[in-house]
Amino acid sequence: MLYNLFKRTFSVFLILIAVLIPAQNNAGVILEIRNESRADKGNIIDLIVVVKNTGNDPFTGKVEITTPSGFRNISPGKTEVHMKPGENLYLPVKILVNNNVVAGESHILCKLTDGQNFVIAKQEIPYVVSENNMMRITPENPVVYMNNVNDSVEVKARVSNLGNKRQNVTLVFKIPEVSQGNIFIEKSGTIEVQKDSIFVFRFFPSKVLMRSSQFTVQIAGFREPDKEIFGNTSVSVQNISSTQRYEDRETDIFSNFSKNSITVSYRRVGENLDMYQMIGSGGFNLPSGYLYIRGNIYAMNNHSDPVVNNTYISYHRENNEFTLGNMSKLLELSLFGRGAEYAFTSSDKDKKIEVGFVDQSFSLIERNSFLKNGYGFYTRGTLGAQNASRSISGTYIFRNDPYDKARHHLAGTDVQYAFNQDWKMNAKMYSGLSFYEDINTTKPSLALESQYSGRIKKVNLNGNYFYSTNYYPGNRRGMLQIQQNFSSHIFTDHYVYANVTVSDFSPKFYFYNTAMQSDNIRVDTGINFPKKGNFALGVGYQYQEEKSNSYNNFFNVPGNQESKQLKAQRLTEYITWLSPDKKHSSIIGIETGLVNYPNADHLDYQMKINGNYNYKWLNVNCTYQYGSYFLSEYAFSKMMNVNTPYEKLSLSAFVNKNLFREKINISSGVSYTHDVLYGRSPSGFVNLKYSKERYGLYLNSSWFNYSSNHFTNNLLTIEAGITINFQTSTLNPGKKGEIKAFVYYDRNNNNVYDGEDQEAKDYLIMLNNISFKTDQEGNIRYQSIPFGKYALKQIIQQGWYYDEASFEVDKHHYFLEIPLHQNGTSKGKVIYQFDAKTALEFSPKIGGIILNIFRNDQFLQKVMTDDNGEFISFLESGNYRIELNGNSLPANTYCERMTADFTVEAGKIVSLEPFIIKVKEKNIRVKKFGN
């Protein structure tokens, strides 16, 4: 009872105390925040917190700054304020925005509390962090060595997320498999903000790659899900065997690399035809130059003699090239047959001359008498052969044509010229002179051609113009052709185009009485609209006019030279669709219009619908056509006595897929065509291919069925073959030799191999950029190397080194001695020194700090600290300077002593003074103003 009385009395006492003590009047205290951040300090927010006491009483309280994750208040988090009436207080606040702040809007909160910790004012400042998706990809080891065929090769790539959002990535490793093409391997992963991740890929190199002196694994990084590339790098894999063969990796692979193989096959066509074929190609180096051979021979059961075509042998020596065998020269007047050619290319590859003779016989072993089917001679010279923007060539061609009963001479020039990056032009001018002995006639002729591409403001233009006289003996006789294209982007994302083609074809021959005449005009114009979601749309207009007398026999008017004409106008529309994951795509195109057929006085309706669907390895296509689009289709309908409009239905589906890690490829397809000419014609094929490094097998089959007007025909073809792959070659037309080097430990340091010295086995030696590992006797061999200058490059190894040297190989066998001298060792470390109370925030890092070593002010090598902050280097005797790379230090750190000089002595270890890394300190400022 006494206790309850005491409680009541004490409570009344406290209430009286509270009433008697005057309460703090917070009226008139105002809180403001001023943002004074500067654009050049993107990672620092400068704020001024303003507290104004506009009342009549003093104020005591606290200002508290609260920052979200990733933001760090460099100023004190809580600041006590004592203000007189009418006093203003200005508190500077600096907030550091770390690199790992997540993208988006964040809020910085400022609160003002009184002496009893009641919040009397607060204010939020929004801060928007822009999205940063910067990524970096670097190889962990730019050079990887391989020596044992039983060991796998390990390639590592480090991906760094330098942005402020979590990112999903895919790395694609490309391995250059020569026999099967490049092999692509994917590795996927997720990289957190400001984190690194190492992607590791291991593979067993093929025997072909193991024989290669070096090859490069290309690595490309893609952001998911849009497959946007963010970077690429490469790793050089070097073979360090003691014996290696020269490979030229700077020359064009298509002219320098030889894939050597032979393919033997058997083909059964229908029920009566058997065919045996052998195809092969390859090249090999000679002590001076190289030989390249290509062959194709096949025999059929209904022919007594085999056929040999596309077969030749070519010898390359220095700048000269000699070819003998089948020739295929695609000149202005093309020549095909058996013959010989000589070509010379200048040392700078800029000038080239070709001279050749061709006997126009299809097979090399054809029994026809020499020159029976005609023959030809040509010569061609080029200036600027390697210059894509400016070049000129001159050509002369002679051809004896027994079918045309004439001797043709053709001479002309080709010019290629680029005025600037936008405007380019090609021009040709050829003149001909033909002698027709039987009718005692000489006929001159001419051909002109011009091609150009350019741009006027936003309009892209390109055109092709060609004209040749009626008796011109070249590949395009009696032709006038005009092609002009326009395209441009309008309204930013709309694309308009217009294509115009006009042609007139009217060749003439003295020994062919029918005068052919064909004229065509075609106009295509339209607009492509911007993509909406996964869909795209385009509409256009077509005008077509075709006029020809080539099909008069089908119209039951043989001998009539009057041309028949077809005119059509059409509207075109297309819609494309691409799935969000970009695996599925489709397109639907519709053409509708009116046409005027020959001998018709009214317009007819015609249309065409085409649909295509594609998914990775599957492609499906469907086409339906109503009405004749060309004179040929209309003529064939009349030939078949069909009075209804021409109709055509075409269906097809194709599959192409690799199985079992790219070793098996299957390609298959089925199709169906139905029209008045082909009737109902289904067909299909299945091709299988099995590929290994040394050989490949394939099995092809196809079936075709033709059924029209009570006539049916089936044709089944089966083909099987095997391909044998031989060792590939890097061909070189120059003189070649061999370097043999002996490596030994020169213990008495006299540069002579004597009794005190010892051969160096399993030691790395580098010639140019090729690495070797010595065999048990200390020898290395570099074979089939072109004559020229070579460099012995130093690879510092623990304990021993050799001197760099340059030498010239000018004989077929070159011997080299490489003495090894003992080197010295330098080591050091980095340490941190800072005050935890005043130091700015930083990420302690002792591994991966870079130091550069110089000798005589020339950069020598780069070393990195390990996880213990220590580094070591092996150097030959001499004076050196080591310099710490400040860019490798963590943020907010520095080093006052960045360099150090030291001397290395053979067989001794020199310890360097530690590099002391210091941390920057905080800088706090408080401003206070009164009235």
Please write down the long-range contacts of 444-448, taking CB distance under 8 Å and 24 or more positions apart: 445/469, 445/471, 445/472, 445/473, 446/472, 447/332, 447/412, 447/472, 447/474, 447/476
Which of the residue ranges 100-114, 222-236, 399-413, 908-922 would you say has the lowest mean pLDDT?
100-114
Token pair 């320098």 is found at: 256
Which of 284, 270, 277 has the alpha carbon at shortest distance from 310?
277
Q: What is the DSSP letter of 529?
A: P
pLDDT value for 373:
86
- What's the CA angle centered on 158, arms 883 and 918, to 5 degrees? 35
Which pLDDT band, with edges at 50, 70 and 90, does 23 fall under? Answer: very low
The confidence score (pLDDT) of residue 426 equals 95
**pLDDT confidence of residue 99:** 67
Residue 17 pLDDT > 50, yes or no?
no
| Per-residue pLDDT at 659 | 86
pLDDT greater at residue 277 or residue 270: 277
Residue type, 190: T
Model pTM score: 0.68
Which pLDDT belongs to residue 77? 66
Average pLDDT on 80-95 reads 82
pLDDT bin (cut points 50, 70, 90) of residue 250 is low
Q: What percent helix, strand, coil does the chain show, rounded to 5?
A: 5, 60, 35
What does the pLDDT read at residue 9?
A: 38
**pLDDT given at position 796:** 65
Encoded tokens for 475: 């590949």
Comparing 560 with 481, the larger pLDDT belongs to 481
Among 188-192, 513-517, 723-727, which is the least confidently predicted range?
A: 513-517
Q: Which region among 380-384, 394-398, 874-878 has the lowest average model confidence (pLDDT)?
A: 874-878
Encode pLDDT of 732-744 as tens digits: 888 888 999 999 9
User: What pLDDT, on a 0 to 100 scale, did the predictor assign at position 592?
Assistant: 96
**CA separation, residue 30 to residues 26, 92, 127, 408 (Å):** 9, 17, 23, 103
871 three-state secondary structure: strand
Q: What is the pLDDT of residue 834?
A: 83
Q: Is the pLDDT of residue 589 over 60?
A: yes
Cα separation, 905 vs 883, whole angstroms: 20
Taking all residues of the chain, what is their mean pLDDT, rounded to a whole number?
85
Q: How many CB atoms sit inside 10 A of residue 531's CB?
A: 12
Two structure tokens written together for 351: 């000038």
Among 697-706, 849-858, 917-926, the minimum mean pLDDT is found in: 917-926
Average pLDDT over residues 414-431: 94
All residues at 6 or more sequence positions from 39 whose CB lies less than 8 Å from its CB, including other chains: none
pLDDT band at 19 (very low <50, low <70, confident <90, very high): very low
With a cut of 50, say whether residue 436 has pLDDT above it. yes
pLDDT > 70 in the chain, percent: 91
- What is the reported pLDDT for 852? 93
Query: Could you tell me which residue, 131 or 307, shows the higher pLDDT?
Result: 307
Least confident of 8-22, 47-61, 420-434, 841-855: 8-22
Residue pLDDT, tens place only, 512-568: 777 788 999 999 999 999 988 889 999 999 999 999 988 877 766 655 668 889 999
Indicate the range of 99-103, 379-383, 633-637 predicted with least confidence. 99-103
Q: Are strands 214-223 and 736-745 parallel, antiparallel or unpaired?
A: unpaired
What pLDDT is recorded for position 652?
96
Higher pLDDT, 306 or 165: 306
Percent of the chain having pLDDT more than 90? Answer: 39
Give pLDDT, residue 13: 34
Residue 25: predicted pLDDT: 41
Contact 920, 832 (CB under 8 A): no
